[in-house]
Amino acid sequence: MLPDETIDAALDVFQTRIDKVKAKYLRLAGEHIAAIGKIGSSDLQRIEQLRKMETNMITIEAELAAALRIDIKDARALLQASAKSVYGDAADWYDQTAFGKNPAMRAILTAQVAQTEGTLVNLSRTKLTSTAYQTAIDDAITAVQTGVTNYTGAIESSLREVADEGLRVRYPSGITRRVDTAVRQNILEGVRQTNQRIADAVGQEFEADGVEISAHMDCAEDHLDIQGKQYTLEEFNQLQSTLERPIGEYNCRHFAFPVIIGISEPAQSEEQLQTLNEQSSKTVTIDGETKSRYEWTQEQRRLETAVRYQKDAANIAHAAGNGTMEAQAQQQITALRKQYRKVSKAAEIPTQYDRMKVAGFTRR
């Protein structure tokens, strides 16, 4: 199976493309909202400004669609590489035919690629929401018409809302989601489903009668007592039905690979598994708050997200010429990064500063 680091690196590439589109959106929105403050109140027409907003959104939707077309091509290659890797992992168990000549494996891969590509195609055709952008225009027009002396201050909260909203799509159900999050989740889910379905098919080919659940450091508490264990197929199906987070779902990093009970040696010895579990459940107290190492990794993710949001705020503030807001965002970034370093060092968790990157952001 492809290493998590390889998959994460590929996902980062996909996200960077979407991030560049988002950066352009924030720049266009910030410049537009700033320009409203320079127009005389007698020249202001809401319809005209909304038309300009619509033009900007059409531009962004076209660029997003172009970025997603490239993501679709690369996602296909990632799923193919991942499927072949899982298939190859079982080469020692039975006399395999080449992946490309195995009809069952090709069929699984084709179906999963089609499903993943379909979700990305639908995403590229879904209209972006612009609620915060429209609200910001209304606030900007109102500020000019009422003659406020501090225009940049009056629209600051609106600018922040545009940055926080980012690029979002609205699904038929009414739910909205940030595009970068949706892309990452859809591709990652495609990889997970491909891996598991290939593994299940491989197990059928060499007549596996059970599975072994993979094990990793910083495991969530609800999976601590089952990672690294072997189960018969019947036991595993029963287990899956009782878990709130089934293996391989809801952001679970575990994987169930096929084994022959009584013959397949566990990937980890009892001692190694105990070490992994003790390391995962070890508690660390930081600033008077005690959490497990796994819980502190989740705090890392929260801080990384908060930094990205502040960088978005700094980007739109710069485009709108709001130096005060940009400086405030930078102060928040500095404080969040300091806390991130503190948490990572105290909990002895590797840092992942790449997760904080935002296209177009420069510390000024």
- Do 22 and 87 lie in one domain? The reply is yes
Report in angstroms the alpha-carbon separations of 3 from 83, 86, 191, 238, 305: 12, 11, 12, 28, 24
The pLDDT assigned to 235 comes to 96
Its pTM stands at: 0.88
As to burial, measured by CB atoms within 10 angstroms (0-12 exposed, 13-18 middle, 19+ buried), residue 33 is: buried
Please indicate, yes or no, if residue 221 is contained in any of the structural domains: yes
pLDDT given for residue 343 in this prediction: 97
Closest CA to 256 of 205, 197, 185: 197
* 277 lies in some domain: no
What's the pLDDT score for residue 253?
Answer: 87
**Angle ∠(345,9,23) on CA atoms, nearest 5:** 90
Q: How far are the Cα atoms of 282, 300, 304, 313 from residue 341, in angstroms, in the given order?
A: 19, 9, 11, 22
Q: Could you tell me if residue 276 is inside a domain?
A: no
The pLDDT of residue 22: 95
CA dist., res. 203 & res. 295, Å (int)? 34
Same domain, 55 and 185: yes
Q: Is 85 exposed, middle or buried (0-12, 13-18, 19+ CB in 10 A)?
A: middle
Amino acid 45: pLDDT:
83
To which H or E segment does residue 152 belong?
Answer: helix 151-154
Whether residue 274 lies inside any domain: the answer is no
Domain count, the chain: 3
Pair 224, 192 in one domain: no
Domain extent for 80: 1-207
Write out residues in the chain with pLDDT < 70, as ranges. Answer: none
Q: What are the structure tokens assigned to 77, written together?
A: 């290659």
How many Cβ atoms sit within 10 Å of the Cβ of residue 202? 24
Q: Which amino acid is at 345?
A: K
